[in-house]
Amino acid sequence: MRAPTWKWFIEYTHPTQAHMHGVRRFIYSGKTEYQVVEVIDTEFFGRCLVLDGKIQSAEYDEYIYHETLIQPAMVLHPKPEKVMVVGGGEGAVLREILRHPGVQRVVMVDIDREVVELCKKYLPGWHQGAFDDPRVEVLHMDARRYLEGTGEKFDVIFMDLTEPVDDGPSYLLFTREFYRTVSDRLSADGIITLQAGSFNPRLIECHAAICNTLATAFPVVRSYSSYIPSYDAVWGFALASAGYDPLLLSPAEVDRRIASRGITKLKYYDGETHIGMFAVPKDIRLAKESETRIIEDGCPLITY
């Protein structure tokens, strides 16, 4: 039997490494003021959002990424009412936050209006109407400027951004100075959670530097991870707070909190998964210990 002839999308994950995806159809390709945007339909992972040549999320596994980013902090906080999202253009972060009935207000700040509008149009399965929820306010501006100018306090702040490498457009939202601002804008028991780079021990510099930098502003900093199939990688996340520690939640307590809030449709996250997420392998722990860099306004993280 003759193999099908595909058009291929090639995603470079390192100067010497790449992933190839067979494409059924190219839906959209364009450039905004801030980044190159593509929406493609792949054979294996369904529809994908691609920014600057890298898959951000895929139809068949986006729930893993978004539940991993959102649910541990939302469950850890006993009463998350005011939430802020930095980035999150697909709207899936809003979807996950709004599962929690106690949420009263969500402020989403994404600088790229065009990406948000494209996601509303082409990725309805991600946001599922969350942009239209009356509790949600969407702003298109610089998130750092917003946080420096507002007096509002938030219970949880989520950062869903590209990595802070090579002096790119996001790095000023990962610095020591910025995390101090975030700390000031969190309530006394507030939590910050963010995607924090690959958990590959050969590429751990980014994740380790983010955790080191968070530790300059927060006494509790925890690494965690999930395998994201469309990334073909175990992906790192970081949670930081002034006191709440996810390592102190038992599987039974996680499941109890989820049930008490009437949340029934999670596909990935539960008490057993929580324990696995926060179990950091020995090689990653050792690699993190050997990395001492801290990201500062005048000193971005430069990797390969």
| Number of neighbours of residue 294 by Cβ within 10 angstroms | 17
pLDDT in tens, 141-176: 999 999 999 999 999 999 998 777 655 567 789 999
**Coil, helix or strand for 172?**
helix
In a domain, 295, yes or no: no
Looking at the structure, tell me whether residues 34 and 76 fall in a common domain: no
Looking at the structure, tell me whether residues 192 and 45 fall in a common domain: no
In a domain, 303, yes or no: no
Looking at the structure, tell me whether residues 47 and 78 fall in a common domain: no
In a domain, 297, yes or no: no
Looking at the structure, tell me whether residues 43 and 67 fall in a common domain: no
pLDDT in tens, 127-141: 999 999 999 999 999
pLDDT in tens, 5-52: 778 888 887 788 888 899 999 999 999 998 899 999 999 999 999 998
In a domain, 2, yes or no: no
Is residue 160 part of the annotated active site? The answer reads yes
Domain containing residue 21: CATH number: 2.30.140.10
In a domain, 298, yes or no: no
Q: How many structural domains are present in the chain?
A: 2
pLDDT band at 256 (very low <50, low <70, confident <90, very high): very high
In a domain, 302, yes or no: no
| Number of neighbours of residue 130 by Cβ within 10 angstroms | 22
pTM for this model (two decimals): 0.94
In a domain, 129, yes or no: yes
CA 199 → CA 61, 69, 72, 193, distances in Å? 18, 15, 18, 16
Looking at the structure, tell me whether residues 17 and 74 fall in a common domain: no
Q: Which of 61, 110, 112, 160 is catalytic?
A: 160
In a domain, 49, yes or no: yes
**Coil, helix or strand for 21?**
strand
Looking at the structure, tell me whether residues 29 and 75 fall in a common domain: no
Domain containing residue 125: CATH number: 3.40.50.150
Alpha-carbon span 207 to 245, nearest angstrom:
19
Looking at the structure, tell me whether residues 139 and 285 fall in a common domain: yes
Helix (H) or strand (E) holding 26: strand 17-31
Looking at the structure, tell me whether residues 173 and 40 fall in a common domain: no
Domain hosting 94: range is 62-290
Residue 235: closest CA among 40, 73, 55: 55
